[in-house]
Amino acid sequence: MKGIKFDFTNLFKPNVNSGVTEAEIDDYKEEITKIIENIFEEKPGFLDVPFTRKWTDSVLDIKNWVQKFESVVILGIGGSALGNQALQTALNPLNYNSMSKEERKSPKVFIIDNVDPDFVSSILDQINPKTTLFNVISKSGTTAEAMSNYLIARGLIDTYGLNPSKHLLFTTDPENGVLRKIAIEEDIRTLEIPQNVGGRFSVLTPVGLLSAMAGNIDIIDLFNGARDMQKILNNKNVWENPAALNALIHFILNKKGFSMSVMMPYSNRLYLLADWYRQLWAESIGKKVNLKGEVVNVGQTPIKALGATDQHSQVQLYNEGPNDKIITFLKLENFERDITIPSIHSDIEALKYLGGKKLSELLNTELTGTEYALVEHNRPNMKIIFPAINAYNIGQFLFMYEFSTAVMGSLLEINPYDQPGVELGKKVTYALMGRKGYEEMASDVNKKLSEKKKVII
């Protein structure tokens, strides 16, 4: 059950009148060919990651050491955590951490991707530092959230009188940053994040691979899927290239006012892929200036929703609210487990039809129902079909979206690999938290904040 499929049917006229026409796609045929050629020529960092054995090898080389721990705790944020969460949720049982050691056969995996003290404490309560490996992940080695959580972990290690080099693993830039410096000084093991791969494109580097390996996920098959997808995408014909067609349709519809992209998996295990996608699409595509330096303020807001849960929360809006969303369903054909609904109360018609049916059938029928309703309401939507959840198919999915993001960036004529818009907020935090060198900014910020006309009720 290897190989995901892309169903674009409901993005096209006349199936959905607000969709695109074949002629509109053909108008961009040559441009797309050039864009794909350029991507393969320019080789943005993510492109060859699945062809670089160094990344899987560097992680598998330390498998025995990592697997001896009771718990592995990831400390990172954004691209240094979202892929890890998506992989664990998709490829391990949803109750993985609460399974017995014998059932799991590998360490528990926790991901601390925030500095909410209630959240951090709740995870620290579940681990014993003596049997824990803390994997600090930060490309820059300066991110306040990852660094403060490192300091907390380090405090625990020191308090317990443990040897830091036996309980810490840093995943960071090969040359720069404070983590690299500490690692050299204190002989702490490190894994490299390739310099030319940005955080949100780094799930298939040691950033995502270490925790995946710790959780016994088949990282080789993850790579096989990504590699095979790269081969599929090395096709200059937009009609045969799912990543290019996906980007192009999102681009054309974006220009017509479809400013939001909803990803709606009908599977709890696939749900966090939508979280990973949100960062990828938002940080890559949401830009103030284009490559010529002109102010363009482009972007498409990625939203996550879960089927069937959000049918009872969001779908009213999707069907009847502003027609500005493209919905991408993730459909799972074969669930690993299933439950037959018992035939009880068969004298009550409102319950009788459910008896004897599988939950998987109900869930996928609900997807069909939502899809049908969206079409009836003239709302463009598409579907990515997973025959099953396995590392190969997830690898395909991740790579397809990385490539699609690169194509979308080219269509919008922006740089999809930077994120200047997150800098100001980070700097203000440094300033207000008293970081050296930010004194002037701190006084400017405090002045502006105090001069504000307050409206607090």
Ligand X SMILES: O=P(O)(O)OC[C@H]1O[C@](O)(CO)[C@@H](O)[C@@H]1O
Catalytic residues: 283, 312, 426
Stretch that binds ligand X, among 134-142, 247-255, 383-391, 444-452 (CB under 6 A): 134-142
Tokens of 50: 């699945």
Does residue 419 bind ligand X (CB under 6 A)? yes
Q: How far is the CB of 197 from ligand X (least distance, A)?
A: 11
Cβ partners under 8 Å of residue 63, min gap 6: 213
Cβ partners under 8 Å of residue 27, min gap 6: none
Distance, CA of 329 to CA of 306 (rounded, Å) = 9
Q: Hey, which residues does 331 pair with through a beta bridge?
A: 385
Does residue 275 bind ligand X (CB under 6 A)? no
Distance, CA of 170 to CA of 64 (rounded, Å) = 17
Does residue 226 bind ligand X (CB under 6 A)? no
CA–CA–CA angle 121, 126, 131 (5° rounding): 115
Does residue 171 bind ligand X (CB under 6 A)? no
Which 318-337 positions form the footprint of ligand X (CB under 6 A)? none
Does residue 206 bind ligand X (CB under 6 A)? no
Q: Which of 77, 91, 327, 406 binds ligand X (CB under 6 A)?
A: 77
Give the containing element (helix H, strand E) for 5.
strand 5-7
- In the bound state with ligand X, the residue whose beta carbon lies nearer, of 41 and 175, is 175
Amino acid at 424: L
Q: How far is the CB of 155 from ligand X (least distance, A)?
A: 19
| Residue-level length of the chain | 457
Which 240-269 positions form the footprint of ligand X (CB under 6 A)? none
Distance, CA of 104 to CA of 101 (rounded, Å) = 5
If you search the block for the tokens 């200036």, which residue do you land on? 289
Does residue 79 bind ligand X (CB under 6 A)? yes
8 A C-beta contact, residue 25 and residue 249: yes
Q: What φ, ψ does residue 90 adopt, rounded to 5°?
A: -75, -40
Q: How far is the CB of 137 from ligand X (least distance, A)?
A: 6
Q: Hey, which residues does 327 pair with through a beta bridge?
A: 262, 381
Does residue 283 bind ligand X (CB under 6 A)? yes
Distance, CA of 267 to CA of 302 (rounded, Å) = 18
Residue nearest to ligand X (CB): 199
Amino acid at 415: N
Does residue 200 bind ligand X (CB under 6 A)? yes
Does residue 129 bind ligand X (CB under 6 A)? no
Quote the DSSP letter at residue 194.
Answer: P
Determine the size of the site formed for ligand X (CB under 6 A): 14
- In the bound state with ligand X, the residue whose beta carbon lies nearer, of 146 and 407, is 146
Stretch that binds ligand X, among 71-79, 223-231, 247-255, 409-417 (CB under 6 A): 71-79
376-388 as b/e, with b when 16 or more CB fall inside 10 Å?
eeebbbbbbebee
Secondary structure of residue 87 in the 3-state scheme: helix
Does residue 286 bind ligand X (CB under 6 A)? no
Does residue 422 bind ligand X (CB under 6 A)? yes
Stretch that binds ligand X, among 96-104, 133-141, 156-164, 375-383 (CB under 6 A): 133-141
Site string for ligand X, 21-60 (x = CB under 6 A): ----------------------------------------
- In the bound state with ligand X, the residue whose beta carbon lies nearer, of 147 and 245, is 147
Q: How far is the CB of 168 from ligand X (least distance, A)?
A: 16
- In the bound state with ligand X, the residue whose beta carbon lies nearer, of 145 and 371, is 145
Q: How far is the CB of 225 from ligand X (least distance, A)?
A: 22
Tokens of 149: 């959580």
Nearest to 72 by CA among 104, 120, 107, 123: 107
- In the bound state with ligand X, the residue whose beta carbon lies nearer, of 72 and 327, is 72
Q: What φ, ψ does residue 411 adopt, rounded to 5°?
A: -60, -40
Q: Hey, which residues does 12 pair with through a beta bridge?
A: 20
Stretch that binds ligand X, among 77-85, 122-130, 292-300, 390-398 (CB under 6 A): 77-85
Stretch that binds ligand X, among 26-34, 53-61, 137-145, 250-258 (CB under 6 A): 137-145
If you search the block for the tokens 């797309």, which residue do you land on? 32
Q: Which of 136, 146, 204, 253 binds ligand X (CB under 6 A)?
A: 146
Q: Which of 135, 138, 149, 396 binds ligand X (CB under 6 A)?
A: 138
- In the bound state with ligand X, the residue whose beta carbon lies nearer, of 283 and 402, is 283
Name the pairing type of β-strands 168-172 and 132-138: parallel
Q: Which of 55, 134, 139, 384 binds ligand X (CB under 6 A)?
A: 139
Torsion, Cα 90 91 94 99, to 10 degrees, reads -170
Does residue 169 bind ligand X (CB under 6 A)? no
Does residue 78 bind ligand X (CB under 6 A)? yes
Distance, CA of 95 to CA of 76 (rounded, Å) = 22
Residues forming the site for ligand X (CB under 6 A): 77-80, 138-140, 143, 146, 199-200, 283, 419, 422
